[in-house]
A and B are shown apart, each in its own frame.
Chain A
């Protein structure tokens, strides 16, 4: 019975109906970065397990992270992590019931994009600085 009722319900307008808007893209980006962080978590686990296994395992994980693909993956991971974190802080602010007006949500969206890019570059500059330059 419930199956039949569900089938007869009209569908609400979905994604393809709307003109892409910044806030909508941010919502999608929050999901995509969140899901991508699963790969990042796997990389972190691999790194920790390698340290626990010994110098040889650590050397092989470090050589992967040092490679071009490894660095690109880590750079994407850093950006996804920071973007998802800033987006999450935005959601926590919304949970208090503030910052939900049109002007503020647009500012939050821009702040998340600019902030995540700037912070990602700063993190990488700091890392290269620790390693002793580019």
Chain B
């Protein structure tokens, strides 16, 4: 007979084991150099004109690093927000709707900023 304990043992509650834990570490490692790049980019363009900023963002190396930063940070943020919500919100409706919002929020920002970088990069 398969008891709930037996089904769960070694698999994790959602049968995904340590996938989320690992993904959070992977994006954390990626975020360190990518965020340092972002800070460097913003600082070196402090007070810069529209034309200069646009031309710099259109540089392929900058675009690639920016997109990598956006996606790594968005995935990291979504996992982090999820963890906080699951720890503090116990009312089912409140929890589930907050989890949905966290996903929509992360995806929305990632999609909007990706489109912006692509538009600048491809010369729109």
Contacts and interface: CB of A to CB of B under 8 A. Distances in A.
Q: Does B bind A?
A: yes
Interface of A: 31, 34-35, 37-38, 41-42, 44-45, 48-49, 51-52, 54-55, 58-59, 78, 81-82, 85, 88-89, 91-92, 95, 123, 126-128, 130-132
B14 interface: no
A34 B31 CA distance: 13
Nearest to A82: B39
Interface of B: 25, 28-29, 31-32, 35, 38-39, 42-47, 50, 53-54, 57, 66, 73-74, 77, 80-81, 84, 105, 109, 112-113, 115-117, 119-120, 124
Given A34-B80, A35-B81, A45-B109, A55 B50 contact: yes
B117 A48 contact: yes
Contacts of B73: 41
A54 B120 CA distance: 10
A52 B46 contact: no
Nearest to B80: A34
A75 to B, nearest CB: 13
A35 B84 contact: yes
Given A38-B81, A42-B109, A49 B116 contact: yes
Tell me the dominant secondary structure on chain B's binding face: helix
Contacts of B105: 38
Contact of A123 (B32, B43, B81): B43
A132 B48 CA distance: 11
A48 B116 contact: yes
A18 to B, nearest CB: 17
Nearest to A119: B39
Contact of B25 (A34, A95, A127): A95
